[in-house]
Structure 1
């Protein structure tokens, strides 16, 4: 095995901005469809659980593709693979806009999820290769502002653009943005601003790395925790758009604007990430994030006055990233010698959890309604944060 990662210099600010832009497209792709679900139901005459394929197809493919992208990113160069993924995402977003039925739409979203699978985990692996661990959680928190802005834009513009130009043209707009980001990354690579972080592994070494990680108790705890987090959090978040439409009769653009508060809460965390890490420590962030999300989901289950959902969504954004950024930082150290593999396992578990949660959440909604789903998600996340804190040091 040969590696250039150990001696890599600090990466330039321009490269961080390009990686954050790529993370933006990933976040937008992930959440763009949430406020469009009611419109897709109307377009194709299907139920909410049938229309949820626009979310489950994307997230399951995103998760399963990680087994490929980790070793490929380590071998070919993480930023190059991210660039190629952005191009493919653009192609499949435009293809989704042409879907003749919900089955074809689900297929193109599945392919888009498989293409997008490289982006965020390989961005984080690249930062893990180039940023010392002591500074990494703060840097990752600020880098993830790109993904958070993408989530905010996806939720907001998904509703607003869906209302005014239709869901098909909304997917076309996403494809244009993804292609523009790919061009930015290509320019950065051509200018050789990106420090090399390649690690060439033989096939037996790759298999050995996966097996070694599977045998490590700490890795199993981190991967298991992020899977459960994905199931519980996104089982509720995905259906807020349909809930607000059904319960309050809101327009799609209003729903999108309200869901944007999630991104604002996440950005509030990103802006203060180093200070929050220093003040709370990893234990405090896990427990605090869990209980903030518990309070937000329980309030949602009470079906309160509609304006109160704005602070609820902001609290969900803050609580989620308090918990998730802690798990992400731990994941960057699961496999320092082949960080792409370690981050791919982590991201695979997260998005498989999201896909499971969206699928299960749709069935809970149809059987029991929205409030029981929201209450169960909040309680589960608080329990997860409380239990996982035991595996963390009192203060790093």
Structure 2
């Protein structure tokens, strides 16, 4: 049977997604929402943390970079754990663990204690997005995967909105500690709901449970079935292949220039235009709202533009938006610029996610976790580099540089995808 015929057969035989699986995906979306809130909630409060703890902005930015480093390194452990112990189970306990780390942050009396709390939070949050993606990749039919990732990505995108908005709003209105108190309640509630769904899954009849949890077959997996090796062998299997290496390298750049430099947008608007932390955080939160717009439009855009069209246009939109944010003399144009930038970024990022879940199907959990590791290690590098460069070349140049690199990356990724027929 040819590859095209095999793919058609798989599509024809794919069963519809059950209501129970859709409910599980909804809860996983809540988990990804919580993870992104925790990740971005410190962006708008950086100037206040700098003032409260009497440190420089670069030192205060460690609450972002330390979180990202811990998040990235943790992927090396969560990938194998998810493959061996169950992805949904790990996500459940990780969400509950984030609530504990958030509680430590509430009572932090120094920057060092706050950094320790952020490390604890990152250790839990690290599991939520990549293992949720991998669980969906195992469960959802291959021809519906990108669409379902687009829908479930709504959770993480809304998390960006709420994280940046609440970080500034709660810091201005009640104080920065209340932002972490909110996270205690959020992770506690999400973890409890996940626990209930995990018990439901465990109580399913054996045949039904296997039908829900069995990984979706793909042409690659069907053609070359493999016994699952240990983590080191899985990692070597992944990085020995050219296409996964390309995706991982692009993930580092995306993390540094997209997520990393984005952490400086609110501080730039606060210092350059004199906006309050609430106003600056609210404007940057529109970046996530633009991502929500893409999630709504993704179903029609994906078949029209194809993967190469999405990353090319997405990178270009983000580059133009970053240039506007960097040099506008008034805050008004920052509103549409942030919206358009978020729309473009998530056009690019959704294609990256889809390729990450499919680059090594026989080691999906480890592959997606490595992708997340490279993405957030890149973010950490971007935050540290951006905070250091702001003192040398100014925040406007840093914001514009981040957008420019993302535009170039989008053009390169589009070229690579065309060569692969994507």
TM-score, structure 1 length as denominator?
0.94
Kindly state the Cα deviation for residue 205 of structure 1 after the two structures are TM-superposed: 3.2
SS at match of 2:108: coil
The answer (yes or no) to whether the contact 1:160–1:256 under 8 Å persists in 2 is yes
* Cα distance change, pair 269–203 in 1 and its aligned pair in 2 (3 A): closer
Distance 2:355 2:215 in 1: 21
Kindly state the Cα deviation for residue 248 of structure 1 after the two structures are TM-superposed: 2.0
Q: What is aligned with 2:381?
A: 356
The answer (yes or no) to whether the contact 1:125–1:332 under 8 Å persists in 2 is yes
Report whether the alignment pairs 1:282 with 2:289.
no
Report whether the alignment pairs 1:176 with 2:185.
yes
Distance 1:99 1:234 in 2: 26
Report whether the alignment pairs 1:268 with 2:285.
no
Q: What is aligned with 2:17?
A: 10
SS at match of 2:358: coil
Equivalence map 1:222-261=2 (5 Å): 222-261=247-286
Q: What is aligned with 1:302?
A: 327
The answer (yes or no) to whether the contact 1:137–1:274 under 8 Å persists in 2 is no
Q: What is aligned with 2:393?
A: 368
Distance 1:205 1:35 in 2: 41
SS at match of 2:174: helix
Kindly state the Cα deviation for residue 280 of structure 1 after the two structures are TM-superposed: 0.7
Distance 2:400 2:166 in 1: 28
Q: What is aligned with 2:31?
A: 22
The answer (yes or no) to whether the contact 1:76–1:198 under 8 Å persists in 2 is no
Report whether the alignment pairs 1:155 with 2:164.
yes
The structure 1 residue matched to 2:122, chosen from 113, 120, 140, is 113
The answer (yes or no) to whether the contact 1:226–1:324 under 8 Å persists in 2 is no
SS at match of 1:259: helix
Q: What is aligned with 1:102?
A: 111
The structure 1 residue matched to 2:68, chosen from 28, 47, 59, is 59
Kindly state the Cα deviation for residue 132 of structure 1 after the two structures are TM-superposed: 2.1
* Cα distance change, pair 197–180 in 1 and its aligned pair in 2 (3 A): farther
Q: What is aligned with 1:344?
A: 369
Kindly state the Cα deviation for residue 357 of structure 1 after the two structures are TM-superposed: 0.1
SS at match of 1:306: coil
SS at match of 2:333: helix
SS at match of 1:35: coil
Provide, for residues 83-131 of structure 1, a one-character-per-residue CA deviation record: whole Å limited to 9, x for no partner: 1100111100110121111122112112211221110000000110111
Distance 1:307 1:387 in 2: 32
Provide, for residues 164-220 of structure 1, a one-character-per-residue CA deviation record: whole Å limited to 9, x for no partner: 121112101111100100000011111227733589x99953322111111100000
Please tell me whether Structure 1 or Structure 2 has the larger radius of gyration of its CA atoms: 2
Equivalence map 1:72-151=2 (5 Å): 72-151=81-160
Equivalence map 1:193-204=2 (5 Å): 195-196=212-213, 204=229
* Cα distance change, pair 93–105 in 1 and its aligned pair in 2 (3 A): same
Provide, for residues 260-306 of structure 1, a one-character-per-residue CA deviation record: whole Å limited to 9, x for no partner: 21111000000111211111101001111110011011112213311
Q: What is aligned with 1:3?
A: none
Distance 1:198 1:30 in 2: 30
SS at match of 1:272: helix
SS at match of 2:138: helix
SS at match of 1:45: coil
Give the unaligned 5+ runs of structure 2.
1-12, 217-225
The answer (yes or no) to whether the contact 1:293–1:319 under 8 Å persists in 2 is yes
TM-score, structure 2 length as denominator?
0.88
Provide, for residues 320-379 of structure 1, a one-character-per-residue CA deviation record: whole Å limited to 9, x for no partner: 111111011001112212211010000000000000000000001011111111221122
The answer (yes or no) to whether the contact 2:168–2:277 under 8 Å persists in 1 is yes
- Equivalenced residues, count: 390
